[in-house]
Structures are given as C-alpha cells and as structure tokens.
Amino acid sequence: MKVVKFGGSSVASAEQILKMIDIVASDADRRIVVVSAPGKRHSDDTKVTDLLIALANTVLEGGDYETDLQQVVSRYAEIQQDLELSESVVATIEADLRGRIENRTTNALQFMDAMKASGEDNNAKVIAAAFNKKGCPAKYVNPGEVGMLLSDEFGNAEVLPESFDQLAELKASSEIIIFPGFFGSTKTGEVATFPRGGSDITGAILAAAVKADVYENFTDVDSVYAMDPRLVPTAPAIERMTYREMRELSYAGFGVFHEEAIIPAVHAHIPICIKNTNRPQAPGTLVTLTREVGDQVVVGIASSDGFCSISIDKYMMNREIGFGRRLLQILEEEGISYEHTPSGIDSISVILKSSELCTQKESVILERIKAELTPDSVEVEYGLALLMLVGEGMHFALGNAAQATRALGDAGVNIEMINMGASETSIMFAVKETDRKKAIHALGESYFG
C-alpha cells in the first residue's frame, strides 16, 4: 500500500489534477491520497493558502472582505469549470467560507486556522468529485472525524500519539481516500493546522499509521537536488539519501519536503520517495534509514538567511559551572527557541532565527544576561546566513571541513562561526547574509563541479 501526497502546484489547476488522477489510477497500491490547497499556477501566482490568510486578516481587522473572498472562490470556480464538475461545487465552497467567517470564535489564531484549513478541505472535496467523474471511486474524508488529533497550538500544531491507531483503520477502505492535508482537530473539536507546508506532515502520519510500503510525495521537481538548482543549476540530482540527511537539509533550507514530516516516517521505517507530478516516470529521490555511502560523502548543501547570534565573552568562562545552563534557561524562560551554540573557552554564541527576537525581547534578554551572568561583553549580530554541508559519509572521510573552508576562503567569504555535531552528519557555517550566494557558488564549485 502506498500513501501519496500531492503538493500545491500539483493540484493548482484542472490540468494538474487530471495528471494526478492518472498517476493514482496507474498503480492500484496508491490507496490514500493527501492533497494540498491549490498552489501557484505560475511563478507570479498566489497560493490559495495565502489568499485565505489575507481574507482572514481583513475579517479580523473588520474590513470589507468581499473582494478577498471572491478571489478564493474564483480559484475553485476555474478548477470546477475546467473539470466540468457541477456548479453546485462552487456554491458549496462559497457557503463554507461564509460559514467559517460568520461562526468565528474570538480567538484570532483559532479563526486563522479554520480559514487556512479550508484551502485543503475544499480542494479535497473538489478532487474527490473529479476522481469519481473519471470513473475512479474515491471518497473525501474529514481529518478530525477519522482521528487526526492535534495539539491546540494553532498554526503550529503537532499530532497526538493516539491518532495513529485510529487512522490505521483507513486501510480498510475499498475506495481511494482523498485526505486533505495540513490540518486536524483538537481534542475539543477545533480545527488546528500544522506549520506552513504541513501537508507533507499529514502524509507522513498517514503512511506511518497504515504502515505503508512507501510514502510518495509528488511535487514539481524530478528529485531533490544537491543544492538549490535556482542558485546552482549544475547541482546533481540526489537518487538516494537517509532520513537524517533529509531532515538536516530540510531544516537548513531545502523547501522540497517539510522537516517535521520526516519524524513519523522514521519511527515507522517508511521509505519516502519524492517524485514529479509532471514527469512521474522519473525515478525521484528515495529516502531511507541507511544508504551505501560510496563516493557520495556529501549529499547536499543547503543555506538559509534570517539568523542572528548573541555572543557572550567572559574571562574564565570554562571554569564557571552552570554558565551554559543559566544562559539557555534565560532563553527558555523568555520563550525563545535556539538553533546552535558554538563555544570557545571564554566565549559562547547562541544562534537564533531572527524572527524569534523582537526589539522588546532582545532588550529583556540582554538585560537579564548582563545581570545574571555578569559577562565581559555581550553582542547581538543580525543578518547571518547558515550554510549546511550534509552527508553521512563525513563520519568516515577525511578533509571535508578543510575542503569547505578552503573553498570559502578562496572566494573571500569570511566564516563567522563553525559547528559540527558528534554525529558528523553535518557541518554548519555561519556567514553574513550578503555573502551567502558567493559562499554557495564556491561550495557548489568545490563539491559538485
């Protein structure tokens, strides 16, 4: 049995939906189909999820939301017309949206989730109708009703463990199941969504619950590439990688697969195959627990902007028991999540996503560090990018850090920080955001020619 997920661009138009139906119909093992909301039809287009967020914001601000609402409805109307489905489909979607707005709760986050979730929910209903029209018996299921239970962290929910047993029952369905991605229900019945891009997570949960033989994730590229092909067009395709490599690369900027979607698949040992809706015959990228390293020491290099560091100096820091714990405790108490902590004998830096620090939070944290840790100096630096060199082979092969630092040095890129964990699956370099592209080209040239 295969669980298949189709991302936003694979369900953005009637043409794409028809390709998807052909893909599912061509393999009798494809029994559970997870769908996103309609995504971009071309590079300047807007995803339905973004249209829904704009609509929800207009409602929350008390504005006239009619134009925003019609923009969403017209995306579905186009699909309905091109698929020659009944006009009542669009009327039902419009009524659904108006219902969500009229019956909204006072909790803005909860309302936002109900609106965002409608993107996948309504698309799944349209897609189920399209399957049936094509003679492929399929049924829409509502995630909350079949046991996709999530925590009540609206916009950032996590699956609750009891979901898996209930969702396992989907295996028994004689019809193909069309399952909307991205959302589920809290224990008290409210709609809650995963983080953005979370339909990948839905697919992984279902694959783990039904113990699928493979989780196929259809997107709009032939495979995962060793580097962002928009920045490095010569980057090779990755045929095989491990869960750990995929997680590291997704975390550090690869947009093809959501970093949190790896976890359910890892726990149940479900292979993940990333494939292209527009070229389903291409083999794609297979992600499994282990791989033959061969000469593919470094599998990929990811990068992303938007980081900052808090750097602290204190003479004899290495002798001060509990310094690191007290520093991290300040962050914990202020509700800040950190990414890395490179350190020296008298210095420690904490790397954070810049979005975690607003001006007010920054001054509270700096004041507390000064008062509670009495450092010699403390500084915040914004505008950092992280580069992540990833490959299980680095555990065995010599000279990877040397090769990377030489490439960066030759390109005139100043390395602000380096971090390598004990697993030796990745090496992280922090550089200035303004140097990121130069650094990526230098590493691309050095590792992939």
Binding site for ligand ASP (CB under 6 A): 7-8, 36-37, 47, 49, 119, 181-182, 196-199
Q: Are strands 224-225 and 237-238 parallel, antiparallel or unpaired?
A: antiparallel
Q: Could you tell me the smallest distance in angstroms from the CB atom of residue 402 to ligand ASP?
A: 39
Which CB atom, from 46 or from 86, has the smaller least distance to ligand ASP?
Answer: 46
Closest listed residue to residue 180, CA positions, set 1, 2, 6: 6
Q: Could you tell me the smallest distance in angstroms from the CB atom of residue 199 to ligand ASP?
A: 3
In eight-state DSSP terms, residue 309 is: E
CA atoms within 13 A on the CB side of 260: 14
User: 10 Å Cβ neighbour count for 114?
Assistant: 25
Which CB atom, from 32 or from 312, has the smaller least distance to ligand ASP?
Answer: 32
The kind and range of the H/E element at 265 are: helix 262-268
Is 303:387 a contact under the CB 8 Å cutoff? yes
- Return the residue nearest ligand ASP (CB atom): 199
Q: Could you tell me the smallest distance in angstroms from the CB atom of residue 58 to ligand ASP?
A: 19
Q: Could you tell me the smallest distance in angstroms from the CB atom of residue 78 to ligand ASP?
A: 17
Q: Which residues have C-beta within 8 Å of that of residue 243, sequence separation ≥ 6? A: 262, 265, 266, 272, 287, 288, 289
Is 46:53 a contact under the CB 8 Å cutoff? no
Which CB atom, from 196 or from 211, has the smaller least distance to ligand ASP?
Answer: 196
Q: Could you tell me the smallest distance in angstroms from the CB atom of residue 234 to ligand ASP?
A: 29
Contacts of 86-93 with C-beta under 8 Å, sequence gap 24+, read 86/129, 89/125, 89/126, 89/129, 92/125, 93/122, 93/125, 93/126
Angle between helix 400-410 and 436-448 (nearest 10): 130
For residues 139 and 32, give the distance between their C-alpha atoms in angstroms, rounded to a whole number: 10
Which CB atom, from 35 or from 386, has the smaller least distance to ligand ASP?
Answer: 35
Q: Could you tell me the smallest distance in angstroms from the CB atom of residue 119 to ligand ASP?
A: 5
Closest listed residue to residue 126, CA positions, set 170, 82, 94, 79: 79
Q: Could you tell me the smallest distance in angstroms from the CB atom of residue 201 to ligand ASP?
A: 8
Q: Which residue has the tokens 């018996």?
A: 137
Q: Could you tell me the smallest distance in angstroms from the CB atom of residue 309 to ligand ASP?
A: 28
Which CB atom, from 53 or from 108, has the smaller least distance to ligand ASP?
Answer: 53
Burial of 269 (0-12, 13-18, 19+ CB in 10 A): exposed
Which CB atom, from 256 or from 357, has the smaller least distance to ligand ASP?
Answer: 256
Q: Could you tell me the smallest distance in angstroms from the CB atom of residue 367 to ligand ASP?
A: 36
Which CB atom, from 39 or from 147, has the smaller least distance to ligand ASP?
Answer: 39
Which CB atom, from 80 or from 122, has the smaller least distance to ligand ASP?
Answer: 122
Helices (H), 134-259: 163-167, 199-209, 243-251
Which CB atom, from 203 or from 375, has the smaller least distance to ligand ASP?
Answer: 203
For residues 49 and 36, give the distance between their C-alpha atoms in angstroms, rounded to a whole number: 9
